[in-house]
């Protein structure tokens, strides 16, 4: 059996499947993980982890015999890709299988924050309905949707927008040919145009804080921000200020600068809907992601090929 190191907790069904197929050691269960790794790291040919936990250069350097990494999740901003590329180690991940559920969650947040679903729920539960009527909310259908990052998830969001008769434009590093949606090269112009600005871009050093005070001002007092990508894309202090003083109308957030200990100011605001980084967390999608994590490891050890590897890590 191949010796595989597990870094960080994984879903119980994935952990159970891993121990059936591989000789698994859980790094986080060792009393002093990094000291333990310095003594035993050379024994492992595989590493299994998640997008949330990732693997930095220090961890990868402590695994001199490492040949493959398999990660649960589509994001790879927590991995040191350069360190992996230098050693020709492929990074398996779980794209595509989560597109629909993440896009559904983006629309869930969008409709919720615009129509006040969670707010209305609190209104009814608290008995406030017996004392007065609920506030007027914002129409979703027919509005303008700006998507930042029209990758696989962004395109699934754009498809859903057609059912709401929304006009869609997107901002990407490069315009994509043959798409019906208009490319907007200027992020500020997209924010000014949009009623809803949805973040579906990959995170990374170049994208940190790309949604700052200026973009929020451009989105304006009738505009909503939805983030199902990564908290690091947003200057969160600027977002909290914009939500507080009405610079924007509201936000729907699945991801935050710090998780799970989010900025307490967000909890106190009624114009924000919060999810616990769970956009892909349906039973069906989780099962597909688990299967892909296993397939990526299994395939590599059987044939040297990772079925779904982060581009540039498998060549």
Catalytic residues, by residue number, are 230, 259, 277
Applying CB under 6 A, does 231 fall inside the site for ligand DGY? no
Residue 119 vs 233, nearer CB to ligand DGY: 233
Residue 204 vs 220, nearer CB to ligand DGY: 204
53 vs 284: CA distance, rounded Å: 22
Q: x/- string (CB under 6 A) for ligand DGY, residues 91-110?
A: -------x------------
68 vs 300: CA distance, rounded Å: 7
Residue 242 vs 275, nearer CB to ligand DGY: 275
**Phi and psi torsions of 140, nearest 5°:** -100, -50
State which of residues 52, 115, 144, 298 lies at the interface with ligand DGY (CB under 6 A): 52
Residue 116 vs 231, nearer CB to ligand DGY: 231
What's the min distance (Å) between Cβ of 137 and ligand DGY? 28
State which of residues 41, 46, 54, 75 lies at the interface with ligand DGY (CB under 6 A): 75
Tokens coding 206:
């170049």
266 vs 269: CA distance, rounded Å: 5
State which of residues 48, 62, 74, 153 lies at the interface with ligand DGY (CB under 6 A): 74
- Asked whether the beta carbons of 203 and 233 are under 8 A apart, the reply is yes
215 vs 205: CA distance, rounded Å: 18
Residue found by looking up tokens 């799970």 in the block: 260
**H/E segment holding residue 306:** none
* SS3 state of residue 194: coil
**Contact window for ligand DGY (CB under 6 A) among 19-27, 72-80, 185-193, 299-307:** 72-80
What's the min distance (Å) between Cβ of 278 and ligand DGY? 9
């Amino acid at each position: 059996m191949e010796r595989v190191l597990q870094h960080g907790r994984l879903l119980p069904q994935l952990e159970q499947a891993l121990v059936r197929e591989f000789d698994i050691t859980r790094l986080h269960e060792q009393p002093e993980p990094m000291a333990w790794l310095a003594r035993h790291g050379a024994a492992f040919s595989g590493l299994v982890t998640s997008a949330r936990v990732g693997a930095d250069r220090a961890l990868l350097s402590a695994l001199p015999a490492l040949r493959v990494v398999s990660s649960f999740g589509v994001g790879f901003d927590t991995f040191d890709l350069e360190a992996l590329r230098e050693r020709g180690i492929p990074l398996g991940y779980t794209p595509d299988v989560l597109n629909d559920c993440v896009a559904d969650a983006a629309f869930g947040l969008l409709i919720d924050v615009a129509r006040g679903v969670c707010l209305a729920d609190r209104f009814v539960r608290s008995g406030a309905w017996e004392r007065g009527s609920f506030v007027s909310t914002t129409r979703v259908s027919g509005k303008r949707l700006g998507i930042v990052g029209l990758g696989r998830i962004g395109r699934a969001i754009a498809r859903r927008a057609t059912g709401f008769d929304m006009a869609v434009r997107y901002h990407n590093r490069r315009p994509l040919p043959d798409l019906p949606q208009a490319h907007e090269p200027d992020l500020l112009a997209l924010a000014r145009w949009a009623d809803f600005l949805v973040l579906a871009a990959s995170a990374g050093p170049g994208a940190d804080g790309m949604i700052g005070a200026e973009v929020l001002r451009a989105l304006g007092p009738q505009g909503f921000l939805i983030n199902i990508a990564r908290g690091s894309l947003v200057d969160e202090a600027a977002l909290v200020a914009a939500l507080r003083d009405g610079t924007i109308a509201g936000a729907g957030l699945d991801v935050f600068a710090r998780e799970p200990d989010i900025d307490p100011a967000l909890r106190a605001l009624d114009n924000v809907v919060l999810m616990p980084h769970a956009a892909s967390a349906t039973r069906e999608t989780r099962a597909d992601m688990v299967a892909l994590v296993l397939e990526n490891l299994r395939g590599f050890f059987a044939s040297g090929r990772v079925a779904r590897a982060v581009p540039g890590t498998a060549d």
